[in-house]
Amino acid sequence: MRRITRLALAASALAMISASAAADPGPFVIEPEPVPEPPALAGGWYLRGDISYDFQTDANVVVSGVSSFDADFDDTWNVGFGLGYTFNDWFRADITADYRFSADWGAAATSISASTILFNGYATLGGFSGISPYVGIGAGIASVKWDTIDFPGLGLGAVATNDDWRFAYALMTGVSFDVTENLAVDTGYRFTGIDDGQLVDPGSIIVPGGATYSDLYIHEFRIGMRYTFGSFSGY
């Protein structure tokens, strides 16, 4: 009888151990949460090319400090290219070089052409479905070239003029359209102002008092393409 009791107790102990082992799933392990990858930065280098229609070019010309003329030039075209960087969805910057073809001022039998190099910054004003309006500002230098000039009504004949480099600035506004992840089309308006300059040096035989120009302003409609290297996730 004592032996049977011992066997019963041993069997009960084994049953309890088996039940405990079945109920215990093992040591508690905390699985680490997956760490999401950071989003790609919306930025990158880009190349741009533009063509513009210069629909208004004006200047004021003063001869010998006395005679003043409002120069109204014919319409012309402008081509340009640039290199820039998009920092994020809201700001980009570039350096551009543009050449404006000659524009005539018929009343003075002359023409003017200008080349500009500008450093520009643009702020994007939000966007929707790949369409992003923006505003911009630029500053740099301009090379201004005048043809010989015959000042209206003065009977001086054709007078040689100076070529010079002047300070220039620009104000822009427009809309950018994403064509692909890397390619965008820019359309907009740009106003360019060029600092006052010396048209004819004082002491000239024909124009002893010299001649100057001021308020040289150019208005243009622009269209261009911008290609961003790598991946850019815009609007």
Question: Which CATH number does the domain housing residue 127 bear?
Answer: 2.40.160.20
Residue 235 lies in a domain: no
Q: What H or E segment, with its residue span, contains residue 15?
A: helix 2-23
Residue 109: pLDDT over 80: yes
Residue 233 lies in a domain: no
Residue 42 CB contacts under 8 Å (≥ 6 apart), including other chains: 86, 88, 89, 232, 233, 234
Tell me the C-alpha distance between 234 and 110, whole Å: 46
Residue 137: pLDDT over 70: yes
* Structure tokens belonging to residue 208: 């002893």
Residue 121 lies in a domain: yes
User: What percent of the chain stands above pLDDT 70?
Assistant: 80
Residue 25 lies in a domain: no
pLDDT at 58: 96
Mean pLDDT within 121-125: 96
Residue 37 lies in a domain: no
CB 110, CB 217: distance < 8 Å = no
A 10 A CB-CB count for 149 gives 27
Residue 8 lies in a domain: no
The tally of domains found in the chain comes to: 1
Task: Look at 128 and 229; give whichever has higher pLDDT.
Answer: 229
Q: Is 211 exposed, middle or buried (0-12, 13-18, 19+ CB in 10 A)?
A: buried
Residue-wise pLDDT for 160-205, tens only, equals: 998 889 999 999 999 999 999 899 999 999 999 999 999 999 988 8
Residue-wise pLDDT for 18-62, tens only, equals: 555 555 555 555 666 665 554 444 569 999 999 999 999 999 999
Residue 187 lies in a domain: yes
- What range does the domain containing 127 cover? 44-228
Q: Is 214 exposed, middle or buried (0-12, 13-18, 19+ CB in 10 A)?
A: middle
Cα pseudo-dihedral 77, 81, 84, 86, rounded to 10: 60
Residue 4: pLDDT over 70: no
- Classified as helix, coil or strand, 210 is coil
Residue 36 lies in a domain: no
